Structure 1
Amino acid sequence: MVVRTTPLGLLIGRTAKRVNGAFERALADAGATVPAWLVIMNLARHGPLRQTDLAERLGVTGPTMSHHLEMLSDRNWITRERPADNRRTQIVTLTDEGRRTFVRLRSVAQGHDRNLRRGLTEEEEQALRNLLIKVAANISQ
């Protein structure tokens, strides 16, 4: 008897899509997007960053980064300033409103993570982490 199972890559891909979609909806309900969260989280963790360094951390191009920063600037979540000693770069900084937004969105992200871990024991969670790391390493080979 041949047991047919869903290929592992397809199962992981479908799961990732559901996980990402749920996170996108949770952030949208809080008035944000995943890119906005990633920018705010990086600035909250690392302090002011050059726009190019921020784009590199997020793995996006300069124009894409500019697009997201424009939206965040319009919401008064960040400021961008050109230092007097290097007019070719911009330093991105969280505003007070941006820091408050970070705290609010961090709560959303933590709630999402709690939902993902619901029903898992600590041992199961650690085993899942280890397996995902192994699978990811297989892709790199």
Structure 2
Amino acid sequence: MASTNEPGAEASLTYRLKALTKIADRMSSEMSRDKLGVPYPEASIIAAIGTFGPQTVMDISRRANLDKSQASRTVEAMLSKEILARTGNDKDGRSVIISLTAEGRKIFKKIGPALDKRDSDLYHGLNEAERVALRFLLDKILASHGWDATP
């Protein structure tokens, strides 16, 4: 029988990251709805395109942290609302390039300050040195698994 002093699943990195992700997703969803007037997946896509520039749906999926089918459905809905535009991909005729329209760029201009506020709320309780250290350590873990979070 395991001692009650031994760490359980709640001590694992995965458990803690999932808990933090749930908190961040809730905050992001509320921010998207209340401050931006768009659903969270749309705000994620606008942020990805606004930050990294026009790109394929596959790139959007990865950068917005959405599965490919959700990204595809959401992009299609946003194309019909004229928040996004589609052009041919000169490098690969099998895919298209998705970009922001004027309406999409208006929403993107609101996203930065809203994300800064959300991040500030998430980092509440950490001093600046701890915030820098946490970002550094997370980037190091991500990079060791091939993830590049830089624009």
Q: TM-score, normalised by structure 2?
A: 0.69
Range with bigger deviation, 45-54 or 97-106: 45-54
Partner of 1:16: 21
The match for 2:99 is 93
Calculate percent identity across the aligned residue pairs.
Answer: 24
State how many pairs are aligned. 137
Answering whether residue 109 of structure 2 is matched by residue 103 of structure 1, we say yes
Greater relative contact order (CA < 8 Å, ≥ 6 in sequence): 1
**Cα RMSD after superposing both structures:** 3.2
Q: 1:102-135, CA deviations, whole angstroms, 9 ceiling, x for partnerless residues?
A: 011222111101112234211222343355567x
- More divergent stretch after superposition (83-92 vs 116-125): 83-92
Give, in angstroms, the shift of residue 55 of structure 1: 3.2
Q: Which runs of 5+ in 1 are unaligned?
A: none
Whole-angstrom CA distance in 2 between matches of 1:26 and 1:5:
35
TM-score, scaled to structure 1: 0.73
Task: List gaps (5 residues or longer) in structure 2.
Answer: 146-151
1:31 is displaced (CA, Å) by 1.8
Q: Does 1:54 align with 2:60?
A: yes
